[in-house]
Amino acid sequence: MGRRALPKIDPELDLNGIFFISDDLPEVFDQEAMFGRIAPLEVEVGSGKGMFLQSTAPDNPSHDFIGIEIAQKYARLIASRVKKHDITNVCSIGGDAEPLFATWFPSNHLHAVHVYFPDPWWKKRHRKRRVLNEKFLRNVQRVLRPTGQLHFWTDVQEYFETSLELIAEVTTLAGPLTVKERDPEHDMDYHTHFERRKRKDGLPIYRSVFEKKAE
């Protein structure tokens, strides 16, 4: 069964200042220009349809959130939903997160990085394409501020275990710290659509948090 078609986006919606294409971003990161303020900044890599951003940002109005989604149509959908719900502390970027972490985000700046249910790239010859690779993880450590956190969840035990080993090998992030599973308060009270589907099927979710050591 193929994926459902994405909902149509109202062409009258003004997504200026909410939706960005990575190739069109200014050369130098400027959080104040994006959000009109400087606040603790959290970044989600692989935002999908945006459930995490849409549920978390309104509950944390003192923080700003950036979602990076390689599929531009999904990134634009997120921006349209943010606009419709008048969520003012979210921006959506369509593009590859890796070069943004390599050169765009400044060092010691991010409050948190969120990576939920990334593509496992099942075949061994494809695993180099996994987002949690050595280069990306080193850059996560670089851009996190002291005590900033990396949140990583997956439903693939092999991906979870090998990623934890790699994090320990190439970074000095403290962890993994325990993340307790909580019962949802309503049918959409999940981090992502993927978590919702897997938990409804009774499948395990592997959760971890890592923290950058204070200087």
Among 119, 183, 187, 201, the one annotated catalytic: 119
Which residues pair with residue 160 across a beta bridge? none
In a domain, 124, yes or no: yes
In a domain, 101, yes or no: yes
In a domain, 42, yes or no: yes
Which pLDDT tens digit goes with each residue over 58-110? 999 999 999 999 999 999 999 999 999 999 999 999 999 999 999 999 999 99
pTM > 0.75: yes
Number of domains in the chain: 1
Of 82, 153, 131, 139, the closest CA to residue 110 belongs to 139
Is 119 noted as a catalytic residue in this protein?
yes
CATH label of the domain that carries residue 168: 3.40.50.150
Tokens in use for 82?
A: 């943010």
Range of the domain at 175: 19-211
> How far is the C-alpha of 70 from the C-alpha of 54, rounded, in Å?
18
Helices (H), the chain: 31-35, 51-56, 72-84, 97-99, 134-143, 157-170, 193-200
Q: What are the residues whose beta carbons fall under 8 Å from the beta carbon of 80, sequence distance 6 or more? A: 9, 10, 13, 15, 19
Which pLDDT tens digit goes with each residue over 127-169? 788 899 999 999 999 999 999 999 999 999 999 999 999 999 9
